[in-house]
A and B are shown apart, each in its own frame.
Chain A
Amino acid sequence: MIESYGNINPVLAVLIHALIPLTIILVYALVAIWGERKVAGFIQDRLGPHRVGGWHGWAQSIADLLKLIQKEDIVPKDASRFLFKFAPFMMFAASYAAFAVLPFSSWYIGSMIDIGVFYLIAITSVLTLSVIMAGWASNNKWSLLGGMRSAAQLVSYEVPTIATVLTVIVVSGSLNLMTVTEMQSGNDILGFLPNWFIFQNPFLIIAFGIFFISILVESHRVPFDLPESESELVAGYQTEYSGMRWAMFMLAEYADMLLLSLLGVTLFFGGWNSPFGSFMSGPAWGFFWFLLKGFMLVFVMMWIRWTLPRYRVDQLMHICWGILIPATFVNLILVALWEVVF
């Protein structure tokens, strides 16, 4: 926490404190974009990028970034200029702000607030707003359709996301993500399994399944990438963007993937806790475990993306309102009953 920075100027301390997640996001985005291409390459029986920088083309993302920086920043003539320019930054700001309540290790959390989960869910809703903003401000019909699809899908899927988070809250009894993580320390289940929530209550496994589907939708990943579905809407709300503004969308999208994966890790997979009890645990190992688990979920998202076709708008809505939401609420009751009985 801030107090632990000792005698440094408080403003500087806040800055350093806030820069830690930003550094993680930026480095992660470069690695993840390269990684996604590599994963796609291997899944598709080809090599992926392998020229830039020598070893397996590791510098591909950096080269792309340099290219994007040099690109002309085009704003369409009839676009709503301010909103058009503002939307990508707002989108990234929203994902970045949400990282504040994630406990990266027992030693580091951006802001130790008691309503962490509530804050996170509230701030990620701004994503929807920025997507609509981008779609509408572009003055392009495809962008508009993309924005509208996104609004419909994000608003709908917030219900199952929140309801599954609620199931965890029923078990944990706290909205503070640090407390939630601390509750999952130790290896007591069946004598060897870690005390992660997913192992504590069988119905939470179902809850995790629903949660994972919902975060696929929330982060616009295949099979639910309708707002930017290339073959239908050209590029959805991103159609008119170029250069760095487009890169900001990309960055926000990857940051969002990581954010939601890390939330999943915190709620279901013990956050920064080591899977081996006190072995390899501690503040530094906490960082390692937390990010490793997050990256594993991100990898699964990539894996799904390069395997499945895409759903249609009405089918997506049906999955949400017809299947996931009733299932979540039934599951919520079952989790609560389990907690009362055992």
Chain B
Amino acid sequence: MEVMMNKTTDSNSERREMVINMGPQHPSTHGVLRLELVLDGEVVKEVRPNIGYLHRCFEKYAEELGDYASVTPYTDRMDYVSAMNQELGYVIAIERLLELEIPERVEYIRVIISELQRIASHLLGIGAFGLDLGAFTPFLYLFTEREKILDIFEKTSGARLLYNYMTVGGLMKDVPKDFKKDTAEFVKTFRPKIKELNDLLSYNKIFINRTADIGVLPEKVALNYAASGPVLRGSGMKWDLRKDDPYSIYDRFDFDIPVGSGEVGTLGDCWDRYMVRVREMEQSLRIIEQALDGMPDEGDVTEAVPKRIRLKEGEIYCRTETPRGELGYYIISDKKGGPFRVKARAPSFVHLSMLPAISKGSLIADMVAIVGSIDIVLGEVDR
């Protein structure tokens, strides 16, 4: 039994601290993440994240394929919870290098699909966050809703998780006939569910007690760590690439950027990050509604797809807003058929790197809340 405690010496006094491995198999690390926690009782003195358990070297695959278009299915597997957004980022990067004109209809479908994906991803993120805090039921309610989005995606692309639907210059195939009807129906039924979620979880006293003032991330620190997406917005910074560096046709839509306000605690705490996601879902619904109105009914979605992609030498850094934040693709092309270098800048990777900075001195239970509130997907962290 003597292996239990690791004696470490403090500069002044001798203390007994325990080093404990949270993960790689642990219910709330959202995949195979290992956090080395140095504990004093239940107080976390130090966190050392260890990643790489899911590393497949996506970038090597992309370089060795010798073809720009074949990389798309691999991007799906990075953030498998929001695969559509990952594809979108990549195809936009290549399209910019090609200076390709995209048909209207394709742009609208892309926006609708990626906003639906954003909702689906947030539903999972919020649900899993609740689950981390012991609230089991909201998770299943949210999953029911996510299921409806996946049904739409299944009808559209044939797959439920890894779609390979977007392609350079267009889409793999046209949306089904009743896509508009299904999506409009979902928007209508989903709106009241957000209110239900707020009643059940967001403003629950225990939930607020567990998340307010926990894992506070000040705006300055967030920027220094290059946080983005809901994590940065939770700290009160109005920054959304859909508005600040518009891609696709996002500049045509009218929507707000929800930011954290420190409503129930300190600005930038777990609750703020959580609430930004909830409010973003409402905004996504607004975008979808507008896009459904503007979407042309006729048009060939594959007409702009190039038969063979040949690029000159050059490079681009293209960033898009995924549910987790800024997804950047740094692509260097040479005269060969495939990319010379593809680097994916994954938001979860960046967010995880700031975990030690915001979780010092918290309890184990808070660690779980903090990891849940930055909503990481390990497929994207390890790539």
Contact = CB atoms under 8 A, between A and B. Distances in A.
Interface of A: 40, 43-46, 78, 80, 136, 139, 141-142, 144-145, 149, 222-223, 225, 229-234, 306-315
B264 interface: no
Contacts of A142: 20
B364 A145 contact: yes
Contacts, number: 85
Contact of A232 (B18, B200, B364): B364
A307 B4 CA distance: 36
Contacts of A43: 137
Interface in B121-167: 130-137, 140-141, 144
A270 B122 CA distance: 49
5 contacts: A234-B27, A308-B206, A309-B206, A311-B209, A313-B365
A311 B20 CA distance: 22
Contacts of A144: 4
B297 to A, nearest CB: 36
B197 interface: no
A137 to B, nearest CB: 9
B133 to A, nearest CB: 4
Determine the main DSSP class of A at the interface with B. Answer: loop
A241 B130 CA distance: 27
Interface string B195-220: 00000110010110110000000000
A310 B363 contact: no
A145 B20 CA distance: 10
Nearest to A46: B140
Contacts of A44: 136-137, 140-141
A236 B135 CA distance: 17
A216 to B, nearest CB: 13
A49 B131 CA distance: 21
Contacts of A310: 133-135, 206, 210, 365
A136 B3 CA distance: 12
Given A78-B3, A311-B209, 5 more contacts: A136-B1, A139-B4, A223-B206, A310-B135, A314-B363
Nearest to A136: B1
Q: Which of the four size classes fits the interface of chain B? A: 20 to 34
Interface of B: 1, 3-4, 18, 20, 26-28, 42, 130-137, 140-141, 144, 200-201, 204, 206-207, 209-210, 363-366, 368
Given A232-B368, A234-B26, A309 B134 contact: yes
B261 to A, nearest CB: 22
B1 A78 contact: yes
What are the 7 closest A-B residue pairs judged by CB atoms, nearest first? A310-B134, A309-B135, A231-B28, A44-B140, A309-B133, A312-B365, A309-B134
A296 to B, nearest CB: 21
B159 to A, nearest CB: 24
A78 B201 CA distance: 42
B206 A232 contact: no
A314 B243 CA distance: 42
Nearest to B25: A234
Contacts of B206: 223, 308-311
Contacts of B130: 309
Nearest to A79: B1
Nearest to B134: A310
A313 to B, nearest CB: 6
Nearest to A226: B365
Contacts of B140: 44-46
A109 to B, nearest CB: 38
B364 A231 contact: no
Given A306-B137, A312-B365, A231 B209 contact: no
A300 to B, nearest CB: 16
A232 B368 CA distance: 6
Contacts of A46: 140
A312 B213 CA distance: 13
A309 B204 contact: yes
Contact of A231 (B132, B141, B144, B201): B132
User: Which interface residue of A40, A149, A306, A309 has the most chain B CB atoms within 10 A?
Assistant: A309
Contacts of A40: 136
A144 B207 CA distance: 26
A53 B42 CA distance: 45
B373 to A, nearest CB: 13
A308 to B, nearest CB: 6
A222 B137 CA distance: 12
B141 A309 contact: no
A273 B368 CA distance: 47
Nearest to B140: A44
Interface centre among B26, B133, B366 (most CB of A within 10 A): B133
Given A231-B27, A232-B364, A222 B1 contact: no
Given A139-B4, A222-B134, A306-B136, A232 B210 contact: no
